[in-house]
Amino acid sequence: MRPITIEKFDLLLRFLQENQVDVLMISDFENSKNINLQYLSGHPTDAFLLVTSDGESILIPWDISLAGKCAEVDEIVDFSNFKYNFYLTIKEVIKKRWKKSSITVGVHELIPYGYIRMMINLIPELKFFKEPIQITKILQELRATKSEFEMKQLTKAAQIGTKTIKDIRKFCENASDETENDLSFLVRKKMAEYGADDVAFETLVANSSRSHEIHQYPPASNQRFALSGLALIDFGANYQGYHSDITVPISFGELSKEQEKILDIVLDSYEVAIEMIDIGVLTWKVHDRVEQILKKAGYSMPYSLGHGLGLTVHDSPRIGRKPTDEYSLKHWKEETFQEGMVFTIEPGIIKQGVGGTRLENDIMIRNGKIEVITKAEYIQY
Amino acid sequence: MRPITIEKFDLLLRFLQENQVDVLMISDFENSKNINLQYLSGHPTDAFLLVTSDGESILIPWDISLAGKCAEVDEIVDFSNFKYNFYLTIKEVIKKRWKKSSITVGVHELIPYGYIRMMINLIPELKFFKEPIQITKILQELRATKSEFEMKQLTKAAQIGTKTIKDIRKFCENASDETENDLSFLVRKKMAEYGADDVAFETLVANSSRSHEIHQYPPASNQRFALSGLALIDFGANYQGYHSDITVPISFGELSKEQEKILDIVLDSYEVAIEMIDIGVLTWKVHDRVEQILKKAGYSMPYSLGHGLGLTVHDSPRIGRKPTDEYSLKHWKEETFQEGMVFTIEPGIIKQGVGGTRLENDIMIRNGKIEVITKAEYIQY
């Protein structure tokens, strides 16, 4: 089943028609993922998808039997009939469909430059729509609000995550020599028990010696977790392809003045952000407000305040700063909070020598209400 | 520490100089991975890397503290000084280094087309080396043979995988109602106990009802594993960033004539392939030989016979068919087995209604000897 609704698919077609794009081409492979393949076709991975401006979908998958099971398209083309070569297959599909190769193809920004070079060489008449950024933007816009079905899946992913918080509490209460890896394993195991298909991403477990890193590398280690100071765990569930994302700030033992201070600022700015969110409010303004609070206190936030949740963990909308260059600004459309959006709010402060802390919950806007659908809060031991 | 050796780094510089490329640019981000960033700089992820033709390396990372810990480069540039904008940062770096922007940049094929468009707009004088495929090829060639250090890491990853086979055997011997997911968890847990940092990839566990799929989707399920017929498990260890990859063919109960037949062909063609491998032998010829054996028996192999192992699970060399289009052929260089190569050999047959089977081991060419460094074999219950 393809996740995109008919209404949204029609908006996409209108975009293609208005911009004289004959066909939209999406590719998704191991080294160059693009979730829009799944969003538009239902096929999970390893394929080219062509969507014509009059609404026909043609899939060229690596695994034809998987496509038979998952894809909701008009045609599935077997590339083994074209020497196992995706480009020769695309060439034939175009020739057959349009009787000429001088059509305009719209590509997503994430398509590897090598694919473009390959097509320019093998199908020299092909024209490329000159603003792939607009293709990216329209797909981001469509995916930023979720269908009823998607909101159900995301609610379930959030519930699995929330349920796991009590296991994290229990682990911390009884923690002595257990490692970050032990906690990471526990979270994976419990989420599977609660119905998750997978973790949403490799769980980040940071004791007080590593919590100042933006993204922990490695995600978890064999160091003891319950060291005195600021710790955190950032995790989420993948439920049937939909994701939750939660960060629980934790502390062990007595904290220093500065540790107390950054905790207070983070927890306060979280409340400020949640309070600000409403339908019609500009997303970048909420990021900006939190950034100003942090700045005033002498700190900075190197990442964005939040991000959408959906078929990817980092979905649209993006709740971050305004673009900072002319090209991006030219193509930028101010984004507001809308019915159907599901996203994280996750203010944080990190400082080497002091530690890091972050509170992250998932928010859903449904029936006009702003609902916090996960239940992370600061835990002190 | 950067994995590339000084000798290989010099070969890369010579390539840049001979092709009048002023600077090589590699990018690696969440949605567009490129392991060459780590190979050339030691920095694991989320950054732009510039390597000038006279050998200077400049890293622009998202996480500056991680770079301080991991990167082996001449300069680390903080993009927060340039409005958190990677492209504006690159623009300034180029301006400062070359006093002009009309330099030639070599990019890897995997760089997203959107990055190219962005740079064309923000730094219009920039020239792009017109054959990114050649950049991909030279890096593949360098990475196809491993250093002493890399061979040690890969040996360790292989040992962890091999050790886990006895746990898989024990699981199968005692299997009654246990699921594919149970086996997947066991393998993850055991490999961590044996020193793995992670699984090399999500373990594929297929009972006889799913073994005919090329790549199982989902990788494992809540179905019972020990169903009568052909099953398999495809797994590997990630040891400090280096990977092993093993497939154990398994059967439960009595097999049909055709199941016996495809098992025999797969096991025989595996032996044929191993026998053929020698320093100087063309890699594609080994694939071709196996493909011919399968074809003669009425089967086909939709994937390649094997692939290199290294910082990625699918590394170079690629042991597959010859390119099938003129553009790829034009840039193709016949590849032979060489000292220092580490790779899989994994013939397989899949057929809906019958099942699938595959035997996969890892091979290392060291001191002139062809050594099978993992110990998978067919297991019958």
Whether residue A222 lies within 8 A of chain B, CB to CB, comes out as no
Report the pLDDT averaged over residues A107-129. Answer: 97
Q: What is the pLDDT of residues B8-37, one digit of tens each?
A: 999 999 999 999 999 999 999 999 999 999
Give the residue from B158, B271, B291, B179 showing the smallest Cα distance to B224.
Answer: B179
pTM of the model: 0.96
Q: What is the pLDDT of residues A324-368, one digit of tens each?
A: 999 999 999 999 999 999 999 999 999 999 999 999 999 999 999
| Structure tokens given for A258 | 């500065």
How far is the first Cα of chain B from the last one, in angstroms, to the nearest whole number?
Answer: 46
Q: What is the pLDDT of residues A123-151, one digit of tens each?
A: 999 999 999 999 999 999 999 999 999 99
Q: What distance in Å separates the CA atoms of residue B348 and residue B266, rounded to the nearest whole number?
A: 6
Contact B121 A66 (CB under 8 A): no
Per-position b or e across B137-165, b if 16+ CB within 10 A of its CB: bbbbbbbbbbeeebbebbbbbbbbbbbbb
Q: How far is CA B291 from CA B286, B328, B344, B361, in A?
A: 9, 21, 16, 18
B interface test, pick of A63, A243, A312 with most B CB neighbours within 10 Å: A63
Which amino acid type is present at position A251? S
A interface test, pick of B91, B113, B199 with most A CB neighbours within 10 Å: B113
Q: What angle do CA B248, B307, A29 make, to 5 degrees?
A: 100
B interface test, pick of A105, A110, A113 with most B CB neighbours within 10 Å: A113
Whether residue A253 lies within 8 A of chain B, CB to CB, comes out as no
pLDDT for the residue A217: 92
Q: Which helix (DSSP H) or strand (DSSP E) does residue A239 occupy?
A: strand A237-239
Q: What is the pLDDT of residues B107-125, one digit of tens each?
A: 999 999 999 999 999 999 9
Residue A314 has pLDDT above 90, yes or no: yes
Q: State how far residue A306 is from chain B, nearest Cα, in angstroms.
A: 16
When CB atoms are compared, the residue of A34, A131, A214 closest to B63 is A214
When CB atoms are compared, the residue of A32, A302, A324 closest to B83 is A324
A interface test, pick of B26, B32, B116 with most A CB neighbours within 10 Å: B32
pLDDT for the residue A161: 98
The torsion region of residue A208 among left (phi > 0), alpha (psi -120 to 50) and beta comes to alpha
For chain A, the structural domain boundaries read 6-143, 148-380
Q: What is the pLDDT of residues A233-292, one digit of tens each?
A: 999 999 999 999 999 999 999 999 999 999 999 999 999 999 999 999 999 999 999 999
Q: Which residues of chain B have pLDDT under 50?
A: none
Question: What residues of chain B lie within 8 A of the CB of A44, using their CB?
Answer: 217
Q: The domain A6-143 belongs to what CATH superfamily?
A: Creatinase/prolidase N-terminal domain (3.40.350.10)
Q: State how far residue B368 is from chain A, nearest Cα, in angstroms.
A: 32
Question: What residues of chain A lie within 8 A of the CB of B44, using their CB?
Answer: 217
Contact A70 B185 (CB under 8 A): no
Number of other CB atoms surrounding residue A221 within 10 Å: 19
Contact A65 B133 (CB under 8 A): no
Count interface pairs A-B at CB distance under 8 A.
149
How far is the first Cα of chain A from the last one, in angstroms, to the nearest whole number?
Answer: 46
pLDDT for the residue A255: 98
Q: Which residues contact A120 (CB under 8 A, 6 or more apart)?
A: A126
Which amino acid type is present at position B130? K
| Structure tokens given for A263 | 């905790």
Contact A217 B44 (CB under 8 A): yes
Question: What residues of chain B lie within 8 A of the CB of A326, using their CB?
Answer: 122
Q: What is the pLDDT of residues A17-68, one digit of tens each?
A: 999 999 999 999 999 999 999 999 999 999 999 999 999 999 999 999 999 9
Report the chain A residue with the minimal C-alpha distance to residue B78. Answer: A302
The ipTM (two decimal places) reads 0.96
Q: State how far residue B303 is from chain A, nearest Cα, in angstroms.
A: 9
When CB atoms are compared, the residue of A80, A85, A110 closest to B325 is A85
Q: What distance in Å separates the CA atoms of residue A152 and residue B40, rounded to the nearest whole number?
A: 44
- Residues 115-144 of chain B with CB under 8 A from chain A are 115-118, 121-122, 131-133, 136
Question: What residues of chain A lie within 8 A of the CB of B327, using their CB?
Answer: 87, 118, 121-122
Q: May I ask the CATH architecture of the domain A148-380?
A: Alpha-Beta Complex (3.90)
Question: What residues of chain A lie within 8 A of the CB of B222, using their CB?
Answer: none
Q: State how far residue B327 is from chain A, nearest Cα, in angstroms.
A: 7
